[in-house]
Amino acid sequence: MRRLVDAAMDRIVAHVDSLPEQPAGHTVGGVRLARSLAEPLPERGTPFPKLLDLLFDRAVPRSINTAGPGYLAYVPGGGLLHAAVADLIADSVNRYVGLFGAAPGLAQLEINVLDWFRDMVGFPKEAGGILTSGGSLSALTALITARRERLPENFLSGVIYLSDQVHHSLEKAALLAGFPAANVRRLPTDERFRLRAGTLDSAVEADRTRGLTPFLVVASAGTTNTGAVDPLDEIADAAQRHGLWMHVDGAYGGFFVLTDEGRKALRGIERADSVVLDPHKSLFLPYGTGALLVRDAEALRRTHSLAADYMPESREGVDFCEISPELTRPFRGLRAWLPLKMHGIGPFRDALEEKLALARWAADELRTIPGIEILAEPQLSTLAFRLNPGGLAVEELNRLNRGLMKRINDRKRVLLTGTLLRGEFVIRICVLSFRTHRDRMEMCLEDIRGAVEEG
């Protein structure tokens, strides 16, 4: 056992230590490599060192460096090694935490994590939640819970309201939850990409007139596109007026409630009926850690609890298998519990504050580059910009900026991705990795300046 783990750890340490020097992305030849790795089920084993070579020398390097400090694309997180160690422990003891009674001490640690998240959001004590594999599965569970709580068995008249900036996982969740595409409304947003209550009011009234049943609204606590935060208090008022279930998607921005500034921006999140948080984003954990919190914990139980003859009869504590879609599951709680217990929340809060400041700094620097315009100022730690020399048609402008982004990324110190805002291509910067600091942001700005001058 020790030789196995030591050999892996030697490679892990070398890899993690070299993350800042590794290219921000190196996928050339990756597809050819992938094809060369396809093989039939092996009859005989291969020595472990050879397999480590395959992983660390061949497969890992040909990839986007999602764990490195230059990853400013999509939504970063980084992946704390402490969580990987927690997984090693959890997978090694392989205890079952789906039933409280099967491992009460361990189940309690996961319950603690969920209670901490509940308190961060400002939910009451009757709230409950589950850890999931990520935001998408959290959203699906939330929508099915809301559907079962608020609509009859034939729910086909139920209507869901999303903004035109909502993450596509919500639309996917609506379809997977059984709603016809025609029951999902994509409402227009304001000039800062936020859903306003007035827009929601009109849409709900129009649907009521048609005989439909408005039942759920999704508000974003930080969109993926621009980091826009919907006015949550205002949406909560509207949801109350119309009797809608209010779901808040905090997969990107939710944990910013830990900071003073974020808490202000996200005011009203505590009035939601359900909230999604993604610890694998703004809590820096490795991929595969999502969370769903529901204001009324009993709603999760009513939705998911079924009897079975082979299950124990008397229960105490929280049985995760009774309040979630999963039965057999990994002990996910430990990968969140261990880093939080080892560090306390302080360093997480500090890191999130640093990301807010870095995004503001980047916006200020971008403003000094001639021709650059910022289409989305940072509301949290994300912003969107483009080069606009003036006088170009949208198609040309989009081409110009796609080229600019490629030249920035070709320098391989940072990786940026783009998006379309009302049909116009913009380049995003999302600062969220715990490994991204001022030095890397300076490289980012240097490379943007260089790429603008080169173009």
Ligand X SMILES: *Cc1c(COP(=O)(O)O)cnc(C)c1O
Residue 173 CB, shortest distance to ligand X, in Å, is: 9
**Six token digits for residue 113:** 């994590």
Please give the torsion angle defined by the CA atoms of residues 152, 153, 159 and 165, in that order, rounded to the nearest 10 degrees.
Answer: 120
Question: What CA–CA distances, in Å, run from 17 to 68, 88, 135, 136, 354?
Answer: 10, 20, 29, 31, 22
Residues 223-242 that bind ligand X (CB under 6 A): 223-224
Indicate whether 135 belongs to the interface with ligand X (CB under 6 A): yes
> Residues 138-177 vs ligand X: string with x where CB under 6 A?
-----------------------------x-x--------
Distance in angstroms (rounded) separating the CA atoms of residues 175 and 173 = 5
3-state secondary structure of 150: helix
Nearest to 24 by CA among 73, 79, 67, 70: 70
Quote the distance between the C-alpha of residue 352 and its chain's center. 14
Indicate whether 382 belongs to the interface with ligand X (CB under 6 A): no
Which stretch in 120-128, 132-140, 178-186, 388-396 sits in contact with ligand X by CB under 6 A? 132-140
> Residues 33-72 vs ligand X: string with x where CB under 6 A?
----------------------------------------
Residue 435 CB, shortest distance to ligand X, in Å, is: 19
Tell me the angle at which helices 333-343 and 104-121 cross, rounded to the nearest 10 degrees. 70
Write the DSSP assignment of 86-116 as a string of letters: HHHHHHHH----SSGGGSHHHHHHHHHHHHH
| Residues binding ligand X: number (CB under 6 A) | 13
Residues 250-269 that bind ligand X (CB under 6 A): 251-252
Residue nearest to ligand X (CB): 135
Residues 6 or more apart whose CB falls under 8 angstroms from that of 82 comprise: 338, 339, 342, 343
Indicate whether 249 belongs to the interface with ligand X (CB under 6 A): yes
Q: For residues 275 and 318, which CB has a smaller minimum distance to ligand X in the complex? A: 275
Indicate whether 77 belongs to the interface with ligand X (CB under 6 A): no
Residue 89 CB, shortest distance to ligand X, in Å, is: 24
Q: For residues 75 and 86, which CB has a smaller minimum distance to ligand X in the complex? A: 75
> How many CB atoms are closer than 10 A to CB 283?
26
Q: For residues 67 and 372, which CB has a smaller minimum distance to ligand X in the complex? A: 67
Backbone angles phi, psi at 292, to 5 degrees: -125, 130
> Residues 268-307 vs ligand X: string with x where CB under 6 A?
----------x-----------x-----------------
Positions touching ligand X (CB under 6 A) are 75, 134-136, 167, 169, 223-224, 249, 251-252, 278, 290
